[in-house]
Structure 1
Amino acid sequence: MYIIIYLSVYTYFQGQVAANSLYNGDIYSLAQRDTEHSSSHSRTPFPLHLPSKMVSQRDRELLRGDLRARSKLSTADRESLLKSYLPEDLSRPERRRPHKTPIRSFFKAQLHHLAYALTHIIFGIIVRLLQAYHAVVDRVFAIVYHHHRTPELIRKDVRGLKRLPQHLSTILTLRKEDDALAVLMDEVAELAAWSSCAGIPQLSIYEKTGVLKSCIPALHQIITTKLASYYGSPDQQPNLHLYAPHHPVHGSTTNPGKSTLTMLLLSSTDGRETIVDLTKTLAEMSQNGKLSPEDITPELVDAEISDITTQPLTAGTDTVLKPEPDLLLVFSPYLKLDGYPPWQIRLTEMYCTGSRSHGVNGDGEAVEYQGYMRGLWHFAGAQMRFGR
């Protein structure tokens, strides 16, 4: 008896809930009930989703009549009625159609390869033409502006320049050939002769390894021989003073009636090692009470470094160089200082002689007269703006 009363009340409330849901346009509760009911008879229940479109008036009346008649419609009829309002089953994986490469993609790829190849060919031709042009120009300058070991021709080449450097510095590289040292010393002698003929009184040569410092007497003899091939008799040759830091001066007696060429040899030891040694010396003097820390100023450090790197052991009035060079010539394909003392080039004009002919004339490190003259032309046309 109690079971019958309980089932009647439960069925009544279920019908009221379903009627209210249909009246508001929502069949979610009814779909859930039918799905639960059908799950006991079938293994493939319908998924529970909200309706994707509005319920039609006809279907609404059928469902309401079914509720009033207490399951007048069968389970299959209700499922077919609700099936149109349920979304499609998204659990099935979509089959991808095999991608067929059309002939259009093949021609497109070939067109890209052709454009890439043409771009490389065009730019390669342009680069080669530029290199050939610079090589021809260099050869023309080498013929037109050749010195022929005549001081008058060199003076004629520099006569039209607005200004000349009073202190010229160059960076040379020791090659790996067997006669590399002999070639290097001959290049130094050529630079000395050109500078003397052009009227440049001071010349500093930087070579990283410092091999030139170990053969200063032999280098002095080679330079003297080279000057003799330009000037002739010793009476017409300029005074030559050759030295290196912490080395004595090698040169003949100064003749007041002739010009003087002062040459300084530098290496990598005159760079970082010099500033380290100076720092140690100043620190020891400060600890021993010989120097006050307030007296260590940038001016003092600059003066000490200049004395160390530009003064020989036996300094004279004619062997004092200008601390900073006006022009730095780099005989190399690229502008590489290679350990050059940095405090000596704060206001120095730099010029790389081998950058234009690199790739055609070889390694671009050869010391040639046209490269030397291009450096002087560059310095004469440079704008010196030191500020106020």
Structure 2
Amino acid sequence: MVSQRHKELFRDDIRSRGTRLSAADREKILSPYLPDPADLPRRAPQRRRKVSRKTPIRSFLKLQLNLLTYAFIHILFGIVTRVFQSYHAVVDRIFAIIYYHHRTPELIRKDVKSLKRLPEHLSVILSLRKEDDALAILMDEVAELAAWTVSSGIPVLSVYEKTGVLKSCIPILHQIIRSKLSSYYGTLAQQPTLQLFAPHHPIYNQQQSRAPSNRQNAATLTVLLLSATDGRETFVDLTKTLAEMSQSGKLLPEDITLELVDAEISEITTQPTTTMSAEGATRGSNQMISTVKPEPDLLLIFGPFLKLDGYPPWHIRLTEMFCTGGRSSRIASSDEAVEYHGFLRGLWHYAGAQMRFGR
């Protein structure tokens, strides 16, 4: 025990910040309480507390057991996944063989005849592949979709491609679609009327010299080309225009409503008013056509997963969406091919969907 006197000396020294006691005085006070160095070898060394350690063999076995369990679960899950993917791939191939159009509109109409409803406006999302002839493949896919659409009795087809490369080759695309329709319908008199346009572009309708009375097919197909510029940029341009009109006094701020914005966007993107033909371009003649339904009833995504990729959002508020890529798509390439059975499965899905409209 430390004596009370020594305690007071130390406390006074601490209060004075070590100025009262010298180093020798502090050693003199502490020396009675320190052990004698001559007695240290005689004392028995203190036993250290043993720390429990796991044996290396037990830790190694537990680690190997965990790795083995993980590998077993991983292999089992991989086998089950591959079995399901292979099963759906085989089923898809069987459907592709059974339900094939053979470039015959009658067979396509027969495939969709039993459906209780068909979309009035069909929209698809396509992507430009990273290949040398990617543009040619893309235009051929659009032509095939156009032939399937008009053969099914759907009057409007909108094609969304993010880059907008299709808008720069509308005359060539019109010719390719017309050539594809000739392989389905035969002569020009039997082919449906084709109208091709894009937002901010006139409708391209290459008129041919044929008598209207000799037409055997009165069907009309309108193909609308969309891109990423028809989404955010269109909305920004419309906002600037409305703001400038409001500042100049041409439009009151209270007149800018959701109905007005919706009507303006629909008019810009889906309601063309003029049509330009190859002959009409030289003659300077424009013709009026009917408006296009703004919102598609069905949106098909030809890909392994559901990805809108910048699709204009105001077009798909009440749209039913269907992704043609399924459980078997990961066996194939990442780019889903545009095939007829995928198109047909999309129509089946739309016919069986429940339209609740938020209820």
> What TM-score do the two structures reach when normalised by structure 1?
0.74
**Match among 51, 59, 66 for residue 112 of structure 1:** 66
Per the alignment, residue 235 of structure 1 pairs with 189
> Contact between 1:172 and 1:330, CA under 8 Å: does it hold in 2?
yes
Q: 2:274 aligns with which of 311, 314, 329?
A: 314
Distance 2:110 2:124 in 1: 22
Tell me how far 1:365 sits from its aligned partner. Answer: 2.2
- The unaligned stretches of length 5 or more in structure 2 are 1-30, 37-44, 276-286
With over 3 angstroms needed to count, the CA separation of the structure-2 counterparts of 1:340 and 1:209, relative to structure 1, is same
In structure 1, what is the Cα distance between the partners aligned to 2:33 and 2:52? 40
Matching residue of 2:179: 225
Q: How big is each residue's C-alpha offset from its partner over 1:270-305, in whole Å with a ceiling of 9 and x where there is no partner?
A: 100001000100111111111111111100000000
1: CA distance between counterparts of 2:122 and 2:272?
A: 18
Residue from 345, 348, 355 that aligns with 1:377: 348
Q: Point out the structure with max Rg over C-alpha.
A: 1
Instruction: Judge conservation of contact 1:241–1:319 (CA < 8 Å) in 2.
Output: no
Distance, in Å, in 1 between the alignment partners of 2:140 and 2:316 is: 26
Percent of paired sites with the same residue? 69
**CA–CA distance in structure 2, aligned partners of residues 216 and 186 of structure 1:** 13
Counterpart of 1:204 in 2: which secondary structure?
A: strand
Deviations 1:125-165 (A, max 9, x none): 01111111111011101100011101111111111111100
Q: Which of 201, 204, 207 lines up with 1:250 in the alignment?
A: 204
In the alignment, the residues of structure 1 paired with residue 295 and residue 255 of structure 2 have an alpha-carbon distance, to the nearest angstrom, of 24
Q: Which structure is higher in RCO with an 8 Å CA cutoff and minimum separation 6?
A: 2
Distance in 2 (CA, whole Å) between partners of 1:130 and 1:92 is 67
- Post-superposition CA distance 1:51-95 (Å, at most 9, x none): xxxxxxxxxxxxxxxxxxxxxxxxxxxxxxxxxxxxxxxx95733
Aligned runs of 1:179-218 on 2, under 5 Å?
A: 179-218=133-172
Query: Does the residue aligned with 1:337 lie in a helix, a strand or coil?
Result: coil
Corresponding residue of 2:102: 148
SS at match of 1:328: strand
Cα distance in 2 for partners of 1:236, 1:350 equals 32
Q: Deviations over 1:88-115 (max 9, x none)?
A: xxx9573325736164444333222221
AA partner of residue 376 (structure 1):
L
1:344 maps to: 315
C-alpha contact (below 8 Å) 1:262/1:319 kept by paired residues: no
Q: Residue 187 of structure 1: SS of its match in structure 2?
A: helix
Using the alignment, how far apart are the partners of 1:189 and 1:240 within structure 2?
11
Tell me if the contact between 2:122 and 2:158 (Cα under 8 Å) persists in the aligned partners: yes
Q: Number of matched residues? A: 304
- Code of the aligned partner of 1:112: N
Root-mean-square deviation over aligned CA pairs: 2.2
Equivalent residue in structure 2 for 1:43, among 19, 26, 35: 35
Q: Tell me whether 1:259 sits opposite 2:219 in the alignment.
A: yes
Correspondence for 1:178 among 126, 132, 156: 132
Alpha carbons 1:134, 1:357 under 8 Å: kept: yes
Matches for 1:74-153 after TM superposition, within 5 Å: 94-96=48-50, 99=53, 101=55, 103-153=57-107
Deviations 1:218-237 (A, max 9, x none): 00000000000001111111
> Equivalent residue of 2:173, what SS?
helix
Q: Deviations over 1:319-352 (max 9, x none)?
A: 4110000000011111111111001100000111
Secondary structure in structure 2 of the residue aligned to 1:318: coil
Normalization by structure 2: what TM-score?
Answer: 0.80
